[in-house]
Amino acid sequence: MPELPEVETTRRALERRLPGARFARVVQRRSDLRFPLPARLASRLRGRRLEGVRRRAKYLLFDLDDGMTMVMHFGMSGRLVFDGSPLGAHEHLTFDFEDGTVLRFNDPRRFGMVDLVATADLERHRWFAHLGLEPLGTEFDGAALMSLLAGRSLALKLAIMDQRLVVGVGNIYASESLHRARLSPRRSAGWLKPAQATRLVDAIKAVLGEAIDGGGSSLRDYVQASGELGNFQRCFRVYERAGEPCACGRSVVRRIVQGGRATYFCPACQR
* Sequence-distant (≥ 6) Cβ neighbours of residue 265 within 8 angstroms: 175, 178, 179, 184, 185, 238, 253, 254, 256
The window from 81-89, 103-111, 164-172, 261-269 that contacts Zn ion (CB under 5 A) reads: 261-269
DSSP state for residue 209 in the 8-state scheme: H
| Smallest separation, CB 206 to Zn ion (Å) | 17
C-beta closer to Zn ion: residue 211 or 246: 246
C-beta closer to Zn ion: residue 219 or 242: 242
The total of other beta-carbon atoms located within 10 Å of residue 223's CB is 21
Rounded CA gap, 76 and 70, in Å?
19
Q: Which residues pair with 22 in a beta bridge?
A: 49
**DSSP β-ladder status, 91-97 and 23-28:** antiparallel
* Catalytic site positions: 2-3, 58, 261
CA 53 to chain centre: 14
The window from 51-59, 123-131, 217-225, 258-266 that contacts Zn ion (CB under 5 A) reads: 258-266
Among 117, 111, 136, CA closest to 41: 117
* Sequence-distant (≥ 6) Cβ neighbours of residue 128 within 8 angstroms: 56, 57, 59, 122
Q: According to the binding rule CB under 5 A, does residue 248 interact with Zn ion?
A: yes
The window from 18-26, 42-50, 212-220, 239-247 that contacts Zn ion (CB under 5 A) reads: 239-247
Q: According to the binding rule CB under 5 A, does residue 268 interact with Zn ion?
A: yes
C-beta closer to Zn ion: residue 27 or 248: 248
Within residues 179-218, the interface with Zn ion by CB under 5 A covers none
| Smallest separation, CB 238 to Zn ion (Å) | 8
Q: According to the binding rule CB under 5 A, does residue 235 interact with Zn ion?
A: no
C-beta closer to Zn ion: residue 36 or 245: 245
Rounded CA gap, 167 and 165, in Å?
7
Q: Which of 246, 263, 264, 265 binds Zn ion (CB under 5 A)?
A: 246
Q: According to the binding rule CB under 5 A, does residue 269 interact with Zn ion?
A: yes
C-beta closer to Zn ion: residue 146 or 266: 266
Give how many residues touch Zn ion by CB under 5 A: 5
Q: At what angle do helices 194-217 and 4-17 cross, to 10 degrees?
A: 50
- Write out the residues near Zn ion by the rule CB under 5 A: 246, 248, 266, 268-269
